[in-house]
Amino acid sequence: MTKNCNHNLCKSSALLAAEKICEQLGARFTQHRRRVFEIVWQSHKAMSAADIMIEMDNKQPPITYRALDFLKSAGLIHHITSLNAYIGCMHAKNPDHVGQLLICTKCNNVAELEPKEAVKELIEQAKQQGFSTQITHIEMLGTCNECE
């Protein structure tokens, strides 16, 4: 998926999905937002805000951070907290999904799974402790099959 995708196709279908989602939200998919989205979707590698700014036309940090915040809260990208970096979300259409991010520490590629059962179990175990879960972050660092 991550590796053997026809990435032009992959990216343009993500773009279409993003446009649709913005429309549904009544938000505008403006120049900056589109540009940041395209940069993040350039590859399946995690990109830091700094990486993104290098490619931005307008280098002023607030522009980039605002776009990232928007895309994140619209569910179009993920913030990888353990790297402080961003990656396009593969399941943006699916509103309440919880991604499991598989991050290759060698090539920096990120894949995403939707491990529904296991996550339910985690949430259930938390509940048994009286904890009511709102947001779940699952990030796994390791090596992908190409980098073994």
Partner DNA sequence: AGTCTAGTGTTAAATTGTAACAGTTGCAAT
Partner DNA sequence: ATTGCAACTGTTACAATTTAACACTAGACT
Does 100 engage in binding with a copy of itself (CB under 8 A)? yes
142 binds, among a copy of itself, DNA, none (CB under 5 to 8 A by kind): a copy of itself
Six token digits for residue 69: 């915040």
Return the sign of the alpha-carbon dihedral for residues 43, 84, 141, 100.
negative
- Angle at which helix 7-25 crosses helix 31-41, to 10 degrees, equals 150
Q: What is the closest distance, in whole angstroms, from the C-beta atom of residue 117 to a copy of itself in the complex?
A: 7
31 binds, among DNA, a copy of itself, none (CB under 5 to 8 A by kind): DNA
Q: What is the closest distance, in whole angstroms, from the C-beta atom of residue 119 to DNA in the complex?
A: 26
27 binds, among DNA, a copy of itself, none (CB under 5 to 8 A by kind): DNA
Does 82 engage in binding with DNA (CB under 7 A)? no
What are the residues whose beta carbons fall under 8 Å from the beta carbon of 82, sequence distance 6 or more?
103, 139, 141
Pseudo-torsion of CA 100, 105, 111, 112, nearest 10°? 10
Q: For binding to DNA (CB under 7 A), which residues are involved?
A: 27-28, 30-33, 48-50, 58, 60-63, 65-67, 70, 84
